[in-house]
Amino acid sequence: MQALHSMDIQNWQPNVQPTLSDQLALTLEQGKVLHLPKLRFDLEDAEQIFYSPEWLSGKRKNISLEGNEVRGASGSPELLKQMGSMIRRYSEQSASLINRLFPNYTKHLNKARTSFRPSIVEGPPPSWKKDDSRLHVDAFPSRPNHGERILRVFTNVNPVGVSRVWRVGEPFEDAAKRFLPQIPRQLPGSAWLLHALKITKRPRSEYDHIMLHLHDRMKTDLDYQKNAPQQTVDFLAGSTWVCFSDQVLHAAMSGQFMFEQTFHLPISGQYHPELSPLKVLERLTERRLA
């Protein structure tokens, strides 16, 4: 099993030929992690002060930029503004990277949250559901997405050379085949009720129902966690990687100081929509799920 596809890109605006874009999109959409070991993001001198978990407010693990607002950090308005512009610079660079690598995505892509993660990955998780050191696909209880893709760019910016260590699991379809028989059908009316109670931002589709169950079943199956096919990967300080986190089974084991940009992409914006988790699950269940 080869989880990564590595490439020698060194800047955030690479020139990529159309045939290479097509190849890379296929690789990414098949569920590999695109690994850019030489693509770094540097903090400016004045930003070095942000290398500390002390900026996190309360029990938060991530600082995020949503629109113009810095969330999850505490500090003076001036410093938070400076932090916001650092995070925005990452956001802009990662958007230019994706646009250069995958020009067909550009008109469909929605930029979502950008995060700066100054906390140490190791440490007790708040609950098994939030324990991202267990293999999982990303699926969020309050944010049904009806099959829309979650594309993420990650950069390890650790200043003293500490890697971010992940485990990457088996192909999505293999995991889906393994867990689907255990997943109950969505109860009639439950999607409507959760939405009416404002627990979800929109009604959950059957796709969302299955993805949440996949996320949870995988995390609670300790035998699966230990014995399923998987590969440990070290993302070195000063490297970047890109993946569809709703498809790649991943677990964060250790590390500190990372930036992350999330994009949402409708399936129709993919080079190969049939490779999406929605289409795979629809093929396996022989039902429409969204």
Q: Cβ-count burial of 91 within 10 angstroms (0-12 exposed, 13-18 middle, 19+ buried)?
A: buried
Of the listed pieces 34-42, 139-147, 174-182, 244-252, which binds ligand SIN according to CB under 6 A? 244-252
Query: Can you name the residues that pair with 73 across neighbouring β-strands?
Result: 56
**CA-atom Rg of the chain in angstroms:** 19
- Report if residue 138 touches Fe ion, rule: CB under 5 A: yes
Q: How far is CA 6 from CA 24, 119, 144, 235, 240, in A?
A: 10, 27, 32, 11, 10
Binding site partner of 164, from ligand SIN, Fe ion, none, Cβ cut-off 5-8 A by kind: ligand SIN
Shortest distance, position 164 Cβ to ligand SIN, whole Å: 5
Q: What is the DSSP letter of 42?
A: P
Contact 230, 33 (CB under 8 A): no
Shortest distance, position 250 Cβ to ligand SIN, whole Å: 6
Shortest distance, position 25 Cβ to ligand SIN, whole Å: 22
Q: How many CA atoms lie within 13 A of 167 on its CB side?
A: 17
Shortest distance, position 5 Cβ to ligand SIN, whole Å: 18
Contact 154, 235 (CB under 8 A): yes
Shortest distance, position 75 Cβ to Fe ion, whole Å: 27
Residue 70 is encoded by which pair of tokens? 């810095």
One of 168, 252, 278, 281 touching ligand SIN (CB under 6 A): 252
Residues of span 71-130 touching ligand SIN by CB under 6 A: 117
- Report if residue 132 touches ligand SIN, rule: CB under 6 A: yes
Residues of span 5-44 touching Fe ion by CB under 5 A: none
Binding site partner of 156, from ligand SIN, Fe ion, none, Cβ cut-off 5-8 A by kind: none
Given the rule CB under 6 A, which residues bind ligand SIN? 117, 132, 164, 245, 250, 252, 258
